[in-house]
Structure 1
């Protein structure tokens, strides 16, 4: 079982978004189970669960983990093909975000488009690496920084840009015949608060 699988096929994406099938995927990510075992957990007849499982299996979202004999019936034990799933923007076809459309370093929309391309590209690379049975060479850096002021944030961005551009100039080998191109994406954005402040609901609250 993979930790994360990127869903690239539009039909598979539609299947995974169905609430019942998403619940079945969550149950099967915890361990193998049969339609009869899952039925009481999702509140559906075994036959209906079996129908959903076959649909998920058709799109590669679940797979056969084994079989067991129960009375005169042989039960198929299914498991999720991954612990979690994410849908590639490529599944949206022509309406997927395009970072080449408006290259604005200070635009949140451009940042989303970059993230979408990163997700799409990683999905394609993971698929290729799995078929070739090769390990994919990647690197990620994640951290947090608190700025005392907007001026400090601007200064940080300027120094970061200068530093990264210097490294790119140092290591970029445009004429290396056996080299391989890599894409570098660095993002900086406000941290999402765990709980946003509740909006006032009365005139009294508005004036307090």
Structure 2
């Protein structure tokens, strides 16, 4: 079982978003049969089997074992991943494109960048899995508290300067191209929603 799987096929995305099938995927973090799952989700075994077949058809669950019980063969199924991410490529015609309106102060542009990141890394993961190769990536995740909007602006300027300097020193006209995305946004706190601040150019909170 993979830690995270990327769903790129629109039909598979539709199947995974069904509430019952979504619940079955969660339950199948450990192997289970239709009979075992029926009691957990409150559905007849035949109905569970119907949903399992749909999930199996789209590669979201797989057969891990068959057990013979009298005249019945019990199929033990397991989700192919512990978690799933639906790639924007599943909705390619309406997927956000950061090239349309680049604006580093726009939250919607940041969202478009994040969508592209999911799409591209998802494609790399899928390709790497088929080739049985790991994808070379690097990421940093952290939190910082700014005493004032001015401090945040100064931080953004210093960060821009530092990244621009690194790009200038290490960029080469040869070798494999890599994409770098640096983002700063208010962190969501489970105890309280982020407080509004000064509106940006598109009317969003900054």
TM-score range, shorter chain: over 0.9
1:71 Cα shift?
1.8
SS of residue in 1 equivalent to 2:64: strand
CA distance in 2, matches of 1:2, 1:115: 22
Show structure 1 runs of 5+ residues with no match: 198-208
1:69 Cα shift?
1.2
1:170 Cα shift?
0.3
The residue aligned with 2:50 is 51
1:196 Cα shift?
3.3
Task: Please point out which of 178, 181, 185 is paired with 1:182.
Answer: 178
The residue aligned with 1:70 is 69
Q: Please state if 1:105 is matched with 2:104.
A: yes
1:86 Cα shift?
1.0
CA distance in 1, matches of 2:97, 2:163: 23
CA distance in 2, matches of 1:4, 1:39: 26
Show structure 2 runs of 5+ residues with no match: 194-206
Runs of 4+ in 1 over 3 A off after TM superposition: none
Cα deviations by residue, 1:73-128 (Å, 9 ceiling, x for unpaired): 11110000000111011111210110001100000000000000000001100011
1:185-196 pair list within 5 angstroms: 185-196=181-192
The residue aligned with 2:137 is 138
CA distance in 1, matches of 2:93, 2:65: 40
Q: What TM-score, normalized by structure 1, do the two folds share?
A: 0.91
CA distance in 1, matches of 2:145, 2:134: 35
1:193 Cα shift?
1.9
1:117-156 pair list within 5 angstroms: 117-156=116-155
The residue aligned with 1:11 is 11
The residue aligned with 1:203 is none
The residue aligned with 1:205 is none
1:185 Cα shift?
0.3
How large is the Cα RMSD of the aligned pairs?
0.8
CA distance in 1, matches of 2:47, 2:12: 19
The residue aligned with 2:82 is 83
1:195 Cα shift?
3.0
Q: What TM-score, normalized by structure 2, do the two folds share?
A: 0.92
The residue aligned with 1:171 is 170
Length, aligned pairs only: 193
CA distance in 2, matches of 1:77, 1:142: 38
Moved more, 187-196 or 61-70: 187-196
SS of residue in 1 equivalent to 2:63: strand
1:156 Cα shift?
0.4
Q: Please state if 1:22 is matched with 2:22.
A: yes
